[in-house]
Amino acid sequence: MKWCRYHSAEGPRFAMVEDEEAFPVYGNPFGLYEFEGPPLLVSELRLLPPCEPRTFFCAGLNYHGHVARANAAGHVDVVSPQRPEVGYRANSALIGAGDAIVRPADYAHPMEAEGELVAVIGKPLRHATRDEAADAIFGWTVGNDVTARQWQRGDRTLWRSKNSDTFKPMGPFIVTDVDPLTSTTVVCVDGREKASFPTGDMIFDPLDYLREISRYITLSPGDVLWMGTDHTAEFAPGSTVAVTISGIGTLSNPVVEENLP
């Protein structure tokens, strides 16, 4: 199954997607829903992030290649994490597929795209085994962990380098029947491939993370876990950046510059 979420006249709504059509529901795919209203063309919808998490989890350094290349480049302080430790992102930064990524007016450097697999949680989860964690994953979507690297280096936290408005595109769809660890993640800028890596080449997989998180924290339906990236890709205003994970979809966003009044 495939789900999207979109702006309707009455507010955000979920819809089940089949081919080019979206079948709107009342309710949500994690709980109760019923179909209501005529099918719509997906191409005519303004998509929202396919869910809004209560808590927005994000793995940091989580790819073997990422660590190896950082070490080769002389960053000896970059070491593989020994445990799956997670961080948090801001819901306020989420945008949907097709929405514009806005470079802040006072940030003059290139931005960086980080193509990431996203696990979408469908059931409450606490003290989970790997099997229980697998059962609680409703589906998968695509995230772009947009980063202002200069700010990341200079600030005390990731507050604006990774969480400025529009810095967390997510979507377009949640796909339920797929094994994403056999997929390939590709990041393109203006149609040119800038990064490509096996989605599953992770240090800790999603079940490792969910087992560890749920030792201390209750996950809720609609929560998301972003799984980290291997290769980053620079981009600038005027371009379009697209993250594709095979079997899940392509998350494409134009990039503009902030215009202050």
Binding of a second copy by 195 (CB under 8 A): no
Per-residue x/- marks for a second copy, 131-160, CB under 8 A? ------------------------xxx-xx
Binding of a second copy by 90 (CB under 8 A): yes
Among residues 141, 144, 163, 232, the one that binds a second copy under rule CB under 8 A: 163
Residue 56 or 249: the one with the smaller Cβ distance to a second copy is 56
Binding of a second copy by 78 (CB under 8 A): no
- Give how many residues touch a second copy by CB under 8 A: 35
* DSSP output for the chain: -EEEEEEETTEEEEEEEETTEEEEEEE-TTS-EEE-S--EEGGGS-BPPS---SSEEEE-S-BHHHHHHHHHTT-TT----SS--EEE--GGGEE-TTPPEEE-TT--SPEEEEEEEEEEE-S-BSS--HHHHHHHEEEEEEEE--B-HHHHHHSSSSTTTTTSTT-EEEEEEEE-S--GGG-EEEEEETTEEEEEEETT-BSS-HHHHHHHHTTT--B-TT-EEE---S-EEEE-TT-EEEEEETTTEEEEEEEEE----
Residue 156 or 192: the one with the smaller Cβ distance to a second copy is 156
Cβ at position 39, least distance to a second copy in Å: 31
Among residues 92, 131, 179, 182, the one that binds a second copy under rule CB under 8 A: 92
- Interface ranges with a second copy (CB under 8 A): 52, 54-55, 60, 81, 85-93, 104, 106, 126-127, 155-157, 159-160, 163-165, 213, 215-220, 223, 260
